Structure 1
Amino acid sequence: MTNILLTGSSRGIGAAIVTALDLPDVTLAKQATRGGNGTIAADFADPAAPQALWDTAVAQLGTIDVLVNNAGVFEASPLDGDEWVAQWERTMRVNLTASAELCRLAVLHWQARGRPGRIVNVASRAAYRGDSPAHWHYAASKAGMVAMTKTIARGYAGAGILAFAVCPGFTMTGMAEDYLASRGGDKLLADIPLGRVAAPEEVATTVKFLALEAPPSMTGAVVDVNGASYVR
């Protein structure tokens, strides 16, 4: 049995990951900001939330074998806005710091038990390509996730602790639909050689592979799911 802690499970990519991991040999602890529907409530804007979530998940599962960091916010912050710094700090707290705290707790958990483990961080194409002028903070937070993933992979592979990142481009969630419509959907789609945005299920399939099946030599890999809209 593989015990997995998934954050951001309530909609979009997270909901698709829940479906992909609905397997007989997987037990899933799911985080959502408000809780409900069998999820653990944890608002990552609260600095105490990652530790509380981890403790609750360990109490539920006994041990955690895989951590999937998917929770995040994508909120516009115009450069001349009065709340720019506050928005920067909120995005970093939710997208990067909370993920970092959970990664730290996972590594310590596995080290204390002498066990292997896996981390899958859902980052973004924006980590490499950047984002709109109103989303400096989002791009920076996702670049931080990628750098953190690589650092964990290099630091702990010898103990069997593996780390991977997934970098989706636009994904057809409610959030992406609203953004596409507000930015002129046809123009944005023209920038994707595949001709469409990714489906959440495509990202979820990638997360499932990395969480359960990817060979150890892939540790440190960053997998793009963006329809060739950014290649590197």
Structure 2
Amino acid sequence: MSESPPHILVTGATRGIGAAIVEALAARGAKVVGHGTRAAPGVLAADLSEGGAGDRLWDAALESLDGRIDVLINNAGVFEAIALDAPDADWQASWGRTMQINLQSSADLCRRMVLHAQGREPGAAALRGRIVNVASRAAYRGDSPSHWHYAASKAGMVAMTKSIARGYAAQGLAAFAICPGYVMTGMAEDYLASRGGGKLLADIPLGRVAQPDEVASVATYLALDAPASMTGAVLDVNGASFVR
């Protein structure tokens, strides 16, 4: 990658893990463009539930970052319940929305990152670019009966990351995934309260959920410091609530 400050696109950047990632990267001197549902300074708006939104976001980010993106961090996602006995139309719509946001839009952005990297000269660590996908513990251990689609989307993200790493390492592209467990964001606080926080915490040997800055520190390492030989790695951040 270039010797100048790295240019980075972070999706889902306006709160929680994404906001912590942007803050950590900026502290390291990176030039970061974030993504959210509403435009703001340093944030591009895109509704990733819409087909083609990932490609449009990429084009806007590339323009904002002077035609160069060194690192893509896919963090945007939804965690929405759907009951097993929901009406068929609702079931299908919920699966479609979750897969579109969590997996398809991430895949579209990864595709653009791979194509972009293929046209560049290698820089630091002999890499042309990096991808960091924020998946979930659910990719490996599954999730609740109301969240099949969420677990499936995150398992797909992990498999996609490994495929990219294996397919494009020789071309100078590194791909990594992070699998957090519960992280103390607004969404996690609501979920813990609704499911009985004490019982859920008892399943985490560390005794607490992760903080956004802990996940951000891992994302920052993978985006800026991880050696090329780590490509394909999937790192867990779950307090030993699930070990592989």
Per the shorter chain, which TM-score range?
over 0.9
Which residue does the alignment assign to 2:226? 214
Counterpart residue type for residue 152 of structure 1: I
Which residue does the alignment assign to 1:77? 82
Matched, 1:90 2:87: no
C-alpha displacement at 1:22, in angstroms?
1.1
- Percentage of identical aligned residues: 66
Unaligned runs of 5+ in 1: none
Asked if structure 1 preserves the Cα contact closer than 8 Å seen for 2:133 and 2:177, the reply is yes
Which residue does the alignment assign to 2:125? none
Q: Deviations over 1:28-74 (max 9, x none)?
A: 01110122243100000111211111011111112000000000000
Which residue does the alignment assign to 1:134? 146
Which residue does the alignment assign to 2:43? 39
Counterpart residue type for residue 100 of structure 2: R
Unaligned runs of 5+ in 2: 123-127
What secondary structure, in the 3-state scheme, does the structure 2 residue paired with 1:223 have?
A: strand
Match of 1:59 among 56, 63, 66: 63
Match of 1:184 among 192, 196, 220: 196
Given the two structures, how large is their TM-score scaled by the length of structure 1? 0.98
What secondary structure, in the 3-state scheme, does the structure 1 residue paired with 2:130 have?
A: strand
Which residue does the alignment assign to 1:15? 19
C-alpha displacement at 1:113, in angstroms?
2.6
Aligned counterparts of 1:37 and 1:59: Cα–Cα separation in 2: 15
Aligned counterparts of 1:37 and 1:138: Cα–Cα separation in 2: 30
Match of 2:167 among 155, 162, 186: 155
Q: Deviations over 1:123-151 (max 9, x none)?
A: 00000000000000000000000000000
Given the two structures, how large is their TM-score scaled by the length of structure 2? 0.93
Distance 1:86 1:193, change over 3 A: same
Q: Output the aligned Cα RMSD.
A: 0.9
Match of 2:112 among 90, 105, 125: 105
Asked if structure 1 preserves the Cα contact closer than 8 Å seen for 2:204 and 2:240, the reply is yes
What secondary structure, in the 3-state scheme, does the structure 2 residue paired with 1:67 have?
A: strand
C-alpha displacement at 1:23, in angstroms?
3.1
Equivalenced residue count is 232
C-alpha displacement at 1:24, in angstroms?
5.5
